[in-house]
Chains A and B, each alone.
Chain A
Amino acid sequence: KKSERTEATTKRRTNPGVTGDKGAAPSKSNLSAAAVSRIMAMAAASSRLLWASRAASYLRISTFPRAFSTVPKDLKYADSHEWVKVDGDSATVGITDHAQDHLGDVVYVELPEVGISVSQGNHFGAVESVKATSDINSPVSGEVIEVNDKLSEEPGLVNASPYEKGWIIKVKLSNSGELNSLMDDEKYATFCEEEGKH
């Protein structure tokens, strides 16, 4: 952006017809006024597009999922788009950036009770977005030892911070061997790309 502003400023300074400066005007030698005007309009449009896309990204008002989602290296992933972070004999579970992007703005999270059992591949809760409830599956089996109660007041944490503040449950693992059936970051990234092609 800084370079674009500098370039635009340079063009204004070297085109006496715009600013009244009497500096050198390379545009005079080979380009007509109409061509210069077209070039400047294109530069301005390109800057506006760049600003608009950054604003849309910041405001999360894009209607199309992004082409590439964030996939942290230290996590394991289920093909139902949940992630798990293992810490000794317990694990934290949430939904991936790919999932939150496709679901849209989360307005409600349905959480399980602490103490209940979850099993790999079965649903334990749901998120609500747009007009839909969408199941959340557990990538691991075990006992729920903590739920993220912040999600009741701030369900949007699932969108804004899917791998950190938007975590959903913590589970005491009953079968750590199940982790071998999950994908690493590279496999999951490839999985998401392949899914998008079908």
Chain B
Amino acid sequence: MAASGLAGASGAARPLMRLVTMSGVPILRQLQLEERLLRRSADNWCLINDGTAPPTIVMGTSGRVLELVEIQPVLRDRVPIVRRFSGGGTVIVDQGTVFVTFICNNSAVPGLQPYPRDIMSWSGQLYGKVFDRFGEFHLRENDYAFSHRKFAGNAQSITKKPRWVHHTSFLWDYDVKNMDYLKIPKRAPEYRRSRNHTDFLCCMKEFMPSRSVFTDGVITALGDHFSVEPTDLETALSNDEEFVPTTKLLSQQDLEEIVSSKESPSVQKVEAVP
């Protein structure tokens, strides 16, 4: 059970949240750590990863490669593709991306129901405190936007403890050329209105003075709800080495099979986890 921390404004003790700050950690490693903390830890966590390398395509659990990715340039340029454990869409991430992840026992947020829209709404309120002073911030469907331009995408994974991950990839900056590896998805938010990537997206650096202003703002906003305790990455990594994550890097063989089979819509089968 997570220890309680300092009392909040209402006098109730704020639950403990362990904060891990990283920089440049490969996204595959970050996601596998998140999945392990979700399944094997009892604590609340916030992970911040400022930039990642190499540039990587990250798909949601049910994403179909051929529908979402320009496969020939990806194969030609050997761009890695990761299939993550959470839902949601496809992104290409690099040094310009800042990741913020919350891994929480649902009881840590009083009154919150452990369902996607409830968690998304709670996150929008939290990030509103971070961004309101810098631009016209909105939670638009499931994205964070300034006005009508998206600067962050979200995804979640919810277990029945209940315990959940809500993770976000923030576009501090992005390389326009990298967008050529992604198709415009069939399942797109209404507010996108068929805009291409450059018309739909915007960069946070146009609105905020520095990355640290952003990450410090997140930590301050968290402090209203949680007692935030900085924690070493090594401590986070030390839980249960035997856990096998479902998040994986698609191998060259996986991709060749996908291309040759034209990716038939078979159901993805998983083993039950004891």
Contacts and interface: CB of A to CB of B under 8 A. Distances in A.
Interface stretch (A44-52, A146-154, A176-184): A146-154
Given A113-B269, A125-B270, A133 B156 contact: yes
A132 B272 contact: no
Interface string A107-120: 11111110011110
B271 A135 contact: no
Q: Which of A113, A119, A135, A153 has the most CB of B within 10 A?
A: A135
Interface in B115-168: 115-120, 142, 154-160, 164
Given A128-B87, A135-B158, A149-B267, 12 more contacts: A110-B268, A112-B271, A119-B274, A123-B160, A123-B272, A125-B272, A130-B117, A132-B87, A132-B116, A132-B156, A132-B158, A135-B159
Interface string B200-233: 0000000000000000000000000000000000
B261 interface: no
A157 B159 CA distance: 22
A103 B116 contact: yes
B88 interface: yes
A108 B62 contact: yes
- Interface size class of chain B, counting residues whose CB lies under 8 Å from the partner chain: 35 or more
A149 B268 CA distance: 11
B111 A132 contact: no
Contacts of B61: 108, 110, 126, 128, 133
A110 B266 CA distance: 10
A196 B113 CA distance: 8
B11 interface: no
A37 interface: no
Contacts of B177: none
A131 B158 contact: no
Chain B interface main SS type: loop
> 5 nearest interchain CB pairs?
A108-B62, A131-B88, A132-B156, A152-B267, A132-B116
Contact of B267 (A111, A128, A133): A111
A69 interface: no
A122 interface: yes
A137 interface: yes
A105 B127 CA distance: 25
Interface string A73-97: 0000000100000000000000000
A124 B272 contact: yes
B188 interface: no
A102 interface: yes
A130 B116 CA distance: 7
Given A104-B117, A132-B116, A198-B111, A118 B87 contact: no
B160 A131 contact: no
A132 B166 CA distance: 9
B41 interface: no
B253 to A, nearest CB: 21
B102 interface: no
A113 B142 CA distance: 32
A122 B158 CA distance: 13
B187 interface: yes
